[in-house]
A and B are shown apart, each in its own frame.
Chain A
């Protein structure tokens, strides 16, 4: 079964450093997402991406964050100047169509980010 793959699985970074989390969505999917989950808390939406642009972003997704689809297969989340509170599991997800039309959103295994 096709799956969303994410790298790295775990990254430790120093506060203030930049981090890039990488994702390969399912190949025929057109909609891409990033979510995060702080340890012990609920999964929070960060951003959705379609047709090479952000379609929606949450309040969490401020200027510190950016997303990019640098080529036909990868989808990246960049976090600039990391803070301790950025420590979380970051999930990439993709779907064939829009959620409102009943398309399942598939998630990767996540990238654990620890900021020290």
Chain B
């Protein structure tokens, strides 16, 4: 089944450093979305990148998409303690009617 898988599973950095998370998926997609989840909270949408886009920015976030490698990366620049959360990529299922989530990367930013 189509599925995003994030790498690494866990990442610990210092405030001010950049954090890069990767996502790989198995089949062709229409879009790929990144979400953040603070512990015990809901999913917050960060950014959507379409299959015909290669890079997208939103504030301190930069997302790239390489459809030939079936992979995406999320870069958070100048990280802050408040960025501590789990980050998930999600791809469309084949029918385009639902999102399929990966297992997520747990990011810990220490001050």
A43-B88, A107-B43, A110-B42 given as contacts; is B97 within 8 A of A56 (CB)? yes
Whether B97 pairs with A108 at a CB distance below 8 angstroms is: no
Q: Inside 8 A of B101's CB, which chain A residues have their CB?
A: 35, 42-45
Whether A99 pairs with B102 at a CB distance below 8 angstroms is: no
Whether B43 pairs with A91 at a CB distance below 8 angstroms is: yes
Q: Count chain B residues whose beta carbon lies closer than 8 angstroms to a beta carbon of A.
A: 26
A101-B30, A107-B35 given as contacts; is B42 within 8 A of A45 (CB)? no
Whether B33 pairs with A105 at a CB distance below 8 angstroms is: yes
Whether B41 pairs with A99 at a CB distance below 8 angstroms is: no
Whether B41 pairs with A109 at a CB distance below 8 angstroms is: yes
Whether A104 pairs with B45 at a CB distance below 8 angstroms is: yes
Q: Count chain A residues whose beta carbon lies closer than 8 angstroms to a beta carbon of B.
A: 28
CA distance A31 to B66 in the complex (A): 28
Using an 8 Å CB-CB cutoff, how does the interface string of A73-116 with B read, 1 for contact, 0 for none?
A: 00000000000000001010100001111101111111000000
A28 in the interface (beta carbon within 8 A):
no
CA distance A105 to B32 in the complex (A): 11
Q: Inside 8 A of B88's CB, which chain A residues have their CB?
A: 42-43
Q: Inside 8 A of B103's CB, which chain A residues have their CB?
A: 41-42
Chain A positions within 8 Å of B, measured between CB atoms, are 31, 33, 35, 41-45, 48, 50, 55-56, 58, 89, 91, 93, 98-102, 104-110
